[in-house]
Amino acid sequence: MGKGASSLSEGVMKKILLSYAYVGIWIFLSFTVIVYNKYILDRKMYNWPFPISLTMIHMAFCSSIAYLLVRVLKLVEPVAMSRELYISSVVPIGALYSLSLWFSNSAYIYLSVSFIQMLKALMPVAVYSIGVLFKKDSFKTDTMVNMVSISVGVAIAAYGEARFDSWGVILQLGAVAFEATRLVLIQILLTSKGITLNPITSLYYVAPCCLGFLFIPWIIVEFPVLKQNSRKTSALTMNVAGVVKDWLLIAFSWSVIKDTVTPVNLVGYGLAFLGVAYYNHSKLQALKAKEAQKKAAQADEEAGRLLQEREGEGSGRRTESQG
């Protein structure tokens, strides 16, 4: 009896520890992605203000990993889903998810990370309000009072924000609204039909759809700017693309061709990859500094030309007055 209870307690303890480990990994990865996005997009840091492109890179990576786990390695079973169900249920969710990610990443250009997290506290308010609107939740006075208290707290935080930017706040509030609508639609379009998606299958079905929707604003908003700057960074882009190609080839040869890839191989190439990444980063920073110097020189030249024109006009007037 004692041994059974002991083994049961050990099994429960293992499950608890595993759950905490998963939560810890999720917190670490979420924190890392947020800080990474802020570093890449902020004009005072890496200064690559292309949130749609960054989001598309994320979605392409997630789609590839999900496809690898579901179709190639077959570690996760896909959900039985017809084309009609995919179009009517998953496509609207993917559209809202793309808008939520686009607006949320855009807000990092204008707002601090801490203030963005404060604004995200409005998520329960948005989910409850939209749930009541779509009749998924019933209106309750005490719940609404709680929602109002959350809104007042966020309003006070916004009032005391040192780096307040109205456009950034609009973007983040829009992201909250789209994300809340997405969560409610998941209940209406999927859960109510008995379809449950785990994190991997959710990425498998939603991420490619989200990538497709993001392509539309990307081709209009960011592609022309990136195309204009591509001539300046073409060699750098090819270096980065070469490194990505190498990683994809390694993953393909390991998973499909069944080549042997040892941990020592991965560690060694990982170190080489970090070295290449640092080299490319240094080259990009040097290129940006050179462009800044060129613009400053052009501004000085323009100012000198205007000064000479003004001096010439002044000397001409003095000559006319003396004559």
Q: What is the pLDDT of residue 9?
A: 73
User: φ, ψ for residue 199 (rounded to 5)?
Assistant: -55, -35
Q: What is the pLDDT of residue 247?
A: 62
Q: What is the pLDDT of residue 181?
A: 96
Q: Which residues does 75 contact at the CB level (< 8 Å), separation at least 6?
A: 69
The average pLDDT across 276-298 equals 72
Question: At residue 52, does pLDDT exceed 60?
Answer: yes
**155 CA to centre of own chain:** 25
User: Which pLDDT band holds residue 45 (cuts at 50, 70, 90)?
Assistant: confident
Q: What is the pLDDT of residue 169?
A: 94
Computed on alpha carbons and rounded to an integer, the radius of gyration of the chain in Å comes to 27
Q: What is the pLDDT of residue 214?
A: 96
- Domain ranges, ordered by start, for the chain: 40-230, 231-315
C-alpha–C-alpha distance, residues 125 and 176, integer Å: 10
Question: At residue 133, does pLDDT exceed 80?
Answer: yes
Question: Could you give the percent of the chain with pLDDT greater than 90?
Answer: 33
Average pLDDT, rounded, for the chain? 82
The average pLDDT across 28-37 equals 88
Question: At residue 312, does pLDDT exceed 80?
Answer: no
| Measured CA distances, 110 to 142, 157, 233 (Å) | 35, 16, 25
Which residue has better confidence, 267 or 29? 29
- pLDDT digit string, tens, across residues 195-217: 888 889 999 999 999 999 999 99
User: Which pLDDT band holds residue 302 (cuts at 50, 70, 90)?
Assistant: confident
Q: Which residues does 128 contact at the CB level (< 8 Å), separation at least 6?
A: 137, 143, 144, 147
Report which of 167, 217, 195 is spatially closest to residue 93, judged by C-alpha positions.
Answer: 195
- pLDDT digit string, tens, across residues 66-88: 999 998 888 888 888 889 999 99
C-alpha–C-alpha distance, residues 189 and 87, integer Å: 11
Least confident range from 19-23, 95-99, 123-127, 187-191: namely 19-23
User: Which pLDDT band holds residue 244 (cuts at 50, 70, 90)?
Assistant: low
